[in-house]
Amino acid sequence: MQQTLELSSEVLAQRLADSGLRATPQREMIYEMVLKKRDHPTADEVYARVRADMPGISLATVYNCLETLVQCDLVRAVHFERGPTRYCPNLRPHAHFHDEQSGTIHDVNLTPELLAQIRAVLPPGYDARTVEVTFRGKASPLTSSEHRVAGSE
């Protein structure tokens, strides 16, 4: 598990610089927070977590920073159902399993092969930048704790 071989703050600073943006304490804090707990928080949840360490931050800034992180390809915004946008720090190809009973979300790895097969259904002329796969159903309690990767509170 090489998580901090490259410091996330450096990755952030680099990506921001690439887009002509500045590294600010708010952006760093929010990026750290989203990476730390690898679930799918809403802006409000991020706001709550960040305020513990940075009490003066505003909700507008949380929205701004999350949007910036999305622009820099450091997190992804997802919309599982109607309701608040959720932010996903997992950048590897994966599907989302939405447990309808608990409301939790589990990441499920996708192989490049399967992704290629899915893309193959597109008629010529369709150029997909991204592919999203979402399951909805129930995960039986016994296995859900073992396989659980991430979920909302």
Q: What is the largest CA-CA distance in the chain?
A: 52
How far apart are CB 78 and DNA at their closest, in Å? 10
Q: What is the distance between the alpha carbons of residues 2 and 8, in angstroms, rounded to a whole number?
A: 12
CA dist 129 and 82 (Å) reads 23
Nearer to a second copy, 103 or 135 (CB): 135
Instruction: Identify the residue among 24, 48, 95, 102 touching a second copy (CB under 8 A).
Output: 95
In which residue are the tokens 């009490």 written?
Answer: 55
Query: Whats the size of the chain, residue-wise?
Result: 153
Here the tokens at position 81 are 């159902």
Q: Is residue 57 part of the contact set for DNA (CB under 7 A)? A: yes
The partner in contact with residue 60, picked from a second copy, DNA, none with C-beta cut-offs of 5 to 8 angstroms by kind, is DNA
Fill in the per-residue mask, 94 to 123: x = in contact with DNA (CB under 7 A), - = not in contact. ------------------------------
* CA atoms of 87 and 83, how far apart (whole Å): 13
- Chain residues that interact with a second copy, rule: CB under 8 A: 77, 79-82, 85, 95, 97, 100, 106, 108-111, 114, 117-119, 121-140, 142-144, 147
